Homo-oligomer: A and B are copies of this chain.
Amino acid sequence: MNSGTIQLDQGSGGRATHELVEDLFIRFLRNDYLGQMNDSALVEVYGGQIAMTTDSYVVDPIFFPGGNIGSLAVHGTVNDLTMLGAKPLYPTAGFILEEGLPVELLSQIVASMGEAAREANVLIVAGDTKVVPHGKADKVFINTAGIGVVPPGLKIGGQYAQPGDAVLINGTMGDHGMAVLCKREGLAFEKEIRSDAASLNGLVAQMLEVCPNIHVLRDPTRGGVATTLNEIAGQSGVGIRLFEEALPIREDVAGACELLGLDPLYVANEGKVLACVPADAAKAVLQTMLRHPLGEQACQIGEVVATDTGRVFLRTRIGGHRLVDMLRGEQLPRIC
């Protein structure tokens, strides 16, 4: 591991990223919090639980249908906090700017961040700006870290999935990744594919109101639904069975994926949540999701099983079973 050079797939969110994180970051920075391997870390401060997270955004292009790097950075950090059941409160924003970036573009990006923050009801409380010479960065990179408060009694995390849980998602898969890719490559379809990037804290708050003992919440970003479910299966020591006929995919996204030879199960989302919900509460949670603007196409896509621990299987339309592994290699670089 300490030989060789960094490869693009180590930033994919898939297996190579996991290996890098485990071999290097966990090894040298070892502590109980970092080892939690969830979207956020849970720490205790003043007798209460705080969720903390950090994410850097390097998306290319910086503007895409449905958002830009600024709104994406806010949504992403709000969502990472939300996935532990936290109420997101205070993101921070660190900018790395390339010399020569038009101020007008930066202005639009920062305005979008302000708007996204207002919509998600969070306050960006601290910022930092660095400028590097032309050619030493690509336009703009943004880091958003942040904290949120976790109400007492919640026990949500990738390690808590239970056999019998229903696996729910709030809508279609792969919209964000395909929106960014099509924009980057200049691919035009009849209708422009829009990113699903959105802050999910409002939706998730309603889901938790109906069922405070949701076991797992996780947003299938880099590596897509397949990689995220593999993480959950591994952390919880369970198997996950997906139902092929239930997987929600927009027609345009499916078409673009087919054209490009991509599997939408591995394509990133930025406004989706996967939830493992106790079977007896699944219907109520699903109905709540369907009533929310960000959950109009919510559905159950699978179930947690006691067999095949650590693995995800797809039950195909014709009744066969196919192993759905974690993302290997780099499918779509720089989609967030």
Contact = CB atoms under 8 A, between A and B. Distances in A.
Contacts of A58: 96, 130, 132, 136-137
Contact of A45 (B8, B9, B11, B48): B48
A interface residue count range (under 10 / 10 to 19 / 20 to 34 / 35 or more): 35 or more
A52 to B, nearest CB: 5
A154 B60 CA distance: 44
Give the oligomeric copy count: 2
A95 B54 CA distance: 10
Given A102-B5, A133-B333, A126 B40 contact: yes
A interface: dominant SS: mixed
Contacts of A146: 145
A24 interface: yes
Interface in A1-59: 1-12, 17, 20-21, 24-25, 28-31, 33-34, 40-41, 43, 45-48, 50, 52-58
Contacts of A2: 103-104, 107
Contacts of A226: none
A284 interface: no
A326 interface: no
A111 interface: yes
A164 interface: no
Nearest to A57: B130
Interface string A126-138: 1111111101111
B127 A54 contact: yes
Nearest to A123: B31
Nearest to A5: B100
B126 A6 contact: no
Interface stretch (A85-93, A189-197, A239-247): A85-93
A98 interface: yes
Contact of A125 (B11, B43, B113, B333): B43
Given A1-B103, A46-B48, A125-B33, A138 B132 contact: yes
Given A107-B24, A126-B40, A333-B133, A147 B45 contact: yes
B145 A94 contact: yes
A117 interface: yes
A328 interface: no
A104 B3 contact: yes
A50 B44 CA distance: 12
Nearest to A26: B127
18 contacts: A5-B100, A5-B102, A21-B129, A25-B110, A28-B113, A29-B110, A31-B124, A33-B126, A41-B90, A45-B147, A54-B143, A57-B130, A58-B96, A58-B137, A60-B136, A96-B96, A133-B334, A141-B141
